[in-house]
Amino acid sequence: HSVREGRLEHTLARDLVPGDTVCLAVGDRVPADLRLFEAVDLSIDESSLTGETAPCSKSTAPQPAATNGDLTSRSNIAFMGTLVRCGKAKGIVIGTGENSEFGEVFKMMQAEEAPKTPLQKSMDLLGKQLSLYSFGIIGVIMLVGWLQGKHILDMFTIGVSLAVAAIPEGLPIVVTVTLALGVMRMVKKRAIVKKLPIVETLGCCNVICSDKTGTLTKNEMTVTQIVTADGQHAEVTGVGYNRFGEVLLDGEVIHGYNNPSISKIVEAGCVCNDAVIRNNTLMGKPTEGALIALAMKMGLDGLQEDYLRKAEYPFSSEQKWMAVKCVHRTQQDKPEVCFMKGAYEQVIRYCTSYHCKGQTLPLGQQQREQYQQEKTSMGSAGLRVLALACGPELGQLSFLGLVGIIDPPRSGVKEAVTTLITSGVAIKMITGDSQETAVAIGMHTPLPCLSLLLNPSLGSVAVFYRASPRHKLKIIKSLQNNGAVVAMTGDGVNDAVALKAADIGVAMGQTGTDVCKEAADMILVDDDFQTIM
């Protein structure tokens, strides 16, 4: 939707020009780079451009010039190709097509030439050697014939005939057929190979660089830990926005209302929530989707329909909490119940008691210190921590507990990485995400030697964080200069340049962007990292 001459009208993205006003709503894909002048609770998923798993909160406040170099710090710009997760906004078009940040990456990709594969280099060398030997043979035969007194033209004809006979005419056919057979075997493993020589390159690859978001992980936030107010620690299995997984407490599966402390946390997270999951597709914020998925695993996802919402206090980046006032549909004559979720430091301020095995007990300093330690511990493990509470009024809430949310590794990735490392292949994770998240995923995967981006010794580094497209390109080039045959896997716009520069670029078929698939040499149809093996 764009505003022209004071009228709101539908406009194709290709028809937008700098100066147009564009209106954004939930679910919209941003059609061009926009400078925001109006934003209400706006969160945009920039994972395909920057690698950040968490949606970025946007505002209209001007940015200091010093921070303009970092895409993630430009909170007043909505970038082309990113997705609006929540809120609404208006912005003025400042860049379209090649003049947008998306276009800058595309221009970098076009300027980058794809390197020759090891097979192509070997064939080139063989061709040069055969040519050299052929000329040598012609020269020797002509010289011998001339010394024997034979006609020089006859000797030249004989020499050329011998040189032509030395050329293996069947070699290109044999190589092509062999590679075609390899491609057919790869198709059975659901991998589309765009260039024949890539099959051989995959076999001699000794370094695999992988993006994190959407490649090693599914880019779907998932609750993995629950800590109740009375000190119980539960683990949650499963990945993504679906009901596949279990809540385990000391090895025992918790379902429904088996455990009052855990079910109360799930109830609060489900009711104080605006997200919807349909057909394993999320509509809303990823963190809220993770809480709905948790309720689905517990069999409590119908709780949202059991309550009538009377009032709502929406989330904002300043207050860092959200609350709703509800009544149960079957008990509308009873007092309203308030549910709250948000950052621990903010939620605990509204709590005067805590929930303990179905009872409400006064909240003391000892409990506060214990919860703070739990929150710090979960945060250091790379988890996003949400606190939950409920009660009759905002100032009289009962603290329920904490949930830890992360975008976890895909199933099978850990085993694949372990197998590749034991086979002598070095695995390096290059992500635009934060240090804590990168290290947490690296330790789950498990990558052997964690280090930082600025370490000069690339060989020993396994995890690179806050990496831009230019950083990824430099890392690939440095590894190639050290003699490595490098494969790069990715799914976002920010991976496209590195995919083209690598000896073999591997794109994700389901979650990958069109730019990424265009730059890649091979596409994994079902996004399964194990196919690379």
Active site residues: 211
DSSP character string of 82-93: -EEEEEEEEEEE
Q: Is 326 left (phi over 0), alpha (psi -120 to 50) or beta?
A: beta
Residue 37 φ/ψ, nearest 5 degrees: -120, -5
Q: Within 10 Å of residue 355's Cβ, how many Cβ atoms?
A: 26
Helices 286-298 and 260-271 cross at an angle (nearest 10°) of 140
The distance of Cα 220 from the centroid of its chain, to the nearest Å, equals: 9
Name residue 178's amino acid.
T
Q: Map tokens 């596949």 to a residue.
A: 244
Q: Is 342 left (phi over 0), alpha (psi -120 to 50) or beta?
A: left
The distance of Cα 42 from the centroid of its chain, to the nearest Å, equals: 21
Task: Find all residues with CB under 8 Å of 369, minimum gap 6, and list them.
Answer: none
| Contact present, 192 and 523 (Cβ < 8 Å) | yes
Q: Is 39 left (phi over 0), alpha (psi -120 to 50) or beta?
A: beta
The span from the CA of 463 to the CA of 92, in Å, is 38
Closest CA to 204 of 509, 504, 476: 504
Collapsed DSSP state (helix, strand, coil) of residue 278: strand
| Contact present, 222 and 240 (Cβ < 8 Å) | yes
DSSP single-letter state for residue 325: E
The span from the CA of 296 to the CA of 304, in Å, is 11
β-pair partners for 312: 324
Q: Within 10 Å of residue 361's Cβ, how many Cβ atoms?
A: 15
β-pair partners for 308: 327
Query: Which residue blocks in 235-349 are alpha helix, DSSP H?
Result: 260-271, 286-298, 303-306, 344-347
Task: Find all residues with CB under 8 Å of 457, minimum gap 6, and list them.
Answer: none
Q: CA 72 → CA 32, 53, 332, 514, distances in Å?
A: 17, 12, 46, 22
The span from the CA of 207 to the CA of 515, in Å, is 23
Structure tokens that stand for 354 in this block: 């805590």
The angle at the Cα of 321, spanning 317 to 324, to the nearest 5 degrees, equals: 130
Closest CA to 275 of 208, 234, 224, 223: 223
CA count, 13 A, side-chain hemisphere, 261: 20
Q: Map tokens 């034979």 to a residue.
A: 150
